[in-house]
Amino acid sequence: MSAPSQAILEIRRLSKTYHTGKISVPVLYDIDLKINKGEFVSIMGPSGCGKSTLMNLIGCLDRPTAGSIHINGTDISSLSDAGLAAVRNKNIGFVFQTFNLLPRINAEENVEIPLVYSGVSRPVRRKKSLSALESMGVLKRADHKPNEISGGERQRVAIARAIVNSPSVILADEPTGNLDSKSGLEVMKIFEGLNSKGVTILMVTHDQNIAAWGGRLVRMFDGRIIEDSEIRK
């Protein structure tokens, strides 16, 4: 294992409880997890085990009830809303099951959005966006709107958006869930390629075969991590 200084993500005694009216619903208990730079971690577990909640907490979309999350050495639980937004913008790249591209603008403009919020100038945005699309093999789709391209291409555009700001970690939530097996395979090859270049990936999936693309498997059950092991290839 790598040295602690290389930990890109360090989670300590993390718990999350949702309060709906008078009822408290605990979702995560005392999670400890450390992910080093360059790792490709698959998270598996049945529905409702808390893996999406964990992803949302790591993705700074939600705040923990207790415990801490350090991303690149920064404790995100102490950050303001604007600070969290900045972390999402610069350190996190989301890849969703349903792609979540904006339907009214073309692929190139979709990829530009994170750069818009980092205050990058227009010409630089365009250059970076096109280069990200090129690296995903969808440069020829730059001027197409999401509904004009295939599911696999959409997910590749979405990955381009996730990597365009060179984040510390990519959070992928069932990235192949809405794709046919061929497109799914292509997407996984892209993840593999990104990971080989040193990109850290954290992926949630139901699919054992998809999970096997990672180098480490974390299993969750009822809000706890029940297994954390290396995947042998």
Partner 1 sequence: MNFFDSVLMAVRSIFANRLRSALTMLGVVIGIASVIILVAIGEAAKVYVVAQVESWGIGPNVIQINPGKDQMDVSAMMNSKLRMSDALLIKEKSPSIDETLPIIMGGAKARYGKKEHSVSQVWGVTDNYQKIFNHKLTSGKFFVKGDVDGRRSVCVLGTTVARKLFGNFDPIGERIKLTGRKFVVLGVFEEKGKMLNFDMDDVVVIPITSAMSLFDTKGVVEIDVAAKSRELVPKAVKEIHAVLGRRLSKDDYQVTTQEGMMNMLNNIVGLLTSVIGGIAAISLIVGSIGIMNIMLVSVTERTKEIGIRKAVGARKIDVFSQFLIESVVISFFGGLLGIVLGLAGTFLIMYVIKLEMVVVVWALTLAVTVSAFIGVISGVYPAMRAVNLDPIEALRYE
Residues that bind partner 1 (CB under 8 A): 56, 59, 61-62, 81-82, 85-86, 88-90, 94, 96, 100-102, 104-105, 113-114, 116-119, 122, 161, 165
Pick 99 or 191: Cβ nearer partner 1: 99
Among residues 59 and 223, whose Cβ is nearest to partner 1?
59
- Token pair of 156 as six digits: 């590749």
Whole-angstrom distance, CA of residue 201 vs CA of residue 178: 19
How far apart, in Å, are the Cα atoms of 232 and each of 45, 100, 139, 215, 229?
19, 33, 35, 7, 9
Name the minimum Å distance from CB 61 to partner 1: 5
Q: What is the CA radius of gyration of the chain?
A: 17
Residue 36 or 106: which CB sits closer to partner 1? 106
Closer by beta carbon to partner 1, 171 or else 213: 171
**CB of 171 closer than 8 Å to CB of 94:** yes
- Indicate the residue among 38 and 131 with the shorter CB distance to partner 1: 131
Burial class (CB in 10 A: 0-12, 13-18, 19+), 208: exposed
Structure tokens at 103: 């339907």
What's the closest the beta carbon of residue 30 comes to partner 1, in angstroms? 22
Cβ proximity to partner 1: between 117 and 221 the closer is 117
Which strand (E) or helix (H) includes residue 112? helix 107-117
CB closer to partner 1 out of 66 and 86: 86
Shortest distance (Å) from residue 123 CB to partner 1: 13
Residue identified by tokens 């049945």 is 46
115, 165 Cβ separation under 8 angstroms: yes
Query: Shortest gap between Cβ of 32 and partner 1 (angstroms)?
Result: 23
Task: For the CB of residue 101, give the shortest distance to partner 1 in the complex, in Å.
Answer: 8
Minimum separation from the CB atom of position 70 to partner 1 (A): 19
Question: Which residue from 61, 56, 58 is spatially nearest to 72, judged by alpha carbons?
Answer: 58
- d(C-alpha 84, C-alpha 76), whole Å: 7
Distance CA 87, CA 59 (A): 8
Shortest Cβ 145–partner 1 spacing (Å): 11
